[in-house]
Amino acid sequence: MSTHRELIRRALGPRVQFVQGDDACAYGAVLAGCTFFAGYPITPATEVAERMAEILPRIGGCYIQMEDEIASMGALIGASWTGAKVMTSTSGPGFSLMQENLGYAIMTETPCVVVNVQRSGPSTGQPTMGAYGDMMQARWGTHGDHEIIMLCPASVQEALEITIVAFNLSEQLRTPVLVFIDGELGHMRERLVIPDDDEFELVERPRATDRASYRPFAPGPDLVPPFAPFGSGFRTFVTGLTHNEDGLPRASSAAVHDQLVRRLAAKITSHLDLITRYEEFYADDCEIAIVAYGITARTCRDVVEEARRRGIKAGLLRLISIWPFPEHVVARWAERVRAMLVPEMNLGQIVHPIREAVAGRCVVTPYARIGGELHTPAELLEALEALQWQPA
């Protein structure tokens, strides 16, 4: 009899493939143990759903095409409370529709992964064109005080690997985790090597073990409550209302609300070492830095190399985890450089937390690009050369 992992391996196919970023997100989810996907097709994220619809039935999982993204997020939350690892995918307009239930998942500490293959907006905008216009919506789209985890891979291989990381963080911290790519990376084909099981870590959500003492939202030392899935014999009560550690509504209590919301935020911010991911190039002697993320960062690596050949001491800080924003990393770079160039495929979103982290210690220059086209190496190089002569 085949084991579940053997079924997964057969369903994924050859170890080395030439696939899209959307495919890689689906592969990463299945490798991470995802057995439930609910979604609604939307360009340029549809291929994520298509791959999940193909693979999940082969491994005993469940794929449901919902009537819209609101229902998709609702189904995701319900499935997660049965103990399943769950994922959905969407693009800008669909991500907007998910916001209310995303907040519900944060409040109810429901593990789930949302892949957003971004496209140009607002509204239906440019459905087939890449963009990074949802970066702030990810942070502030749902209402109320909260923290969110968002990761931004830059290659097809990394899309697979980061999706696995997203599931691990979601399970360990009992919180939604966002994986953000864009239409360019989602539809770009690259060589993908599917890792063996001993080449990555799998994390399971903390489980409740003692029914007698179980309190659904009483946190452990890491601020994360143990989880008891529906149907497991534990008493569970789940509500988006402010609730006490027994899960019972206490919406009129300022003290309970303050304690709950502060803990929900702290369980994220107290695990920055676990969450924060970035790459540095020429950090030691850099004078002018490019700070980039997502597919834009791929161009920047070559631009930095060419700038160095021209005598400019350039470097690159590639942000992989965007939220919680890695202020301490950006602040450390601000101490050593005299200028930062921030290219983004939007009119300037992540440049704002960068400026806040820099706190005036160096010049911060945005380089906005919209319309679905990538920054070219030539124009980024020109921007670096202009910064070289700008007074600090």
Percentage of residues in the chain having pLDDT higher than 90: 97
Percentage of residues in the chain having pLDDT higher than 70: 99
Query: Would you state the pLDDT for residue 375?
Result: 96
User: How far is the C-alpha of 127 from the C-alpha of 191, rounded, in Å?
Assistant: 25
Q: Note whether 257 and 242 are within 8 A (CB).
A: yes
Per-residue pLDDT tens digits for 201-257: 999 999 999 999 999 999 999 999 999 999 999 998 899 999 999 999 999 999 999
Specify burial of residue 210 (Cβ count, 10 A radius: 0-12, 13-18, 19+). exposed
User: How far is the C-alpha of 24 from the C-alpha of 32, rounded, in Å?
Assistant: 12
Whether the link from the prior residue into 324 is cis, omega within 30° of 0, is: yes
Query: Would you state the pLDDT for residue 389?
Result: 76
Per-residue pLDDT tens digits for 4-22: 899 999 999 999 999 999 9
- Residue range 136-160: average pLDDT? 97
Spatial CB neighbours of 182, under 8 Å, sequence gap ≥ 6: 44, 117, 118, 119, 130, 131, 132, 294, 295, 345
* Paired sense of beta strands 126-130 and 112-120, if any: antiparallel
Q: Note whether 75 and 66 are within 8 A (CB).
A: yes
- Residue range 306-333: average pLDDT? 97
Strand partners, 38: 64
Per-residue pLDDT tens digits for 253-301: 999 999 999 999 999 999 999 999 999 999 999 999 999 999 999 999 9
* 59: its two tokens: 């491994």
Reported as a pLDDT band with limits 50, 70 and 90, residue 350 is: very high
Query: Would you state the pLDDT for residue 392?
Result: 63
The DSSP annotation for 155-195 comes to SHHHHHHHHHHHHHHHHHHTSEEEEEEEHHHHH-EEEEEPP
Residue 39 scores a pLDDT above 90: yes
Q: What radius of gyration, in Å, describes the C-alpha atoms of the chain?
A: 21
List phi, psi (to 5°) of 314.
-95, 160
User: How far is the C-alpha of 95 from the C-alpha of 110, rounded, in Å?
Assistant: 17
Rounded to two decimals, what is the model's pTM? 0.97
The size of the chain, in residues, is 392
Query: Would you state the pLDDT for residue 236?
Result: 87
The DSSP annotation for 9-25 comes to HHHH--SEEEEEHHHHH
Query: Would you state the pLDDT for residue 196?
Result: 96
Angle at 93 between CA 57 and CA 191, to 5 degrees: 50
Query: Would you state the pLDDT for residue 391?
Result: 67
Residue 126 scores a pLDDT above 90: yes
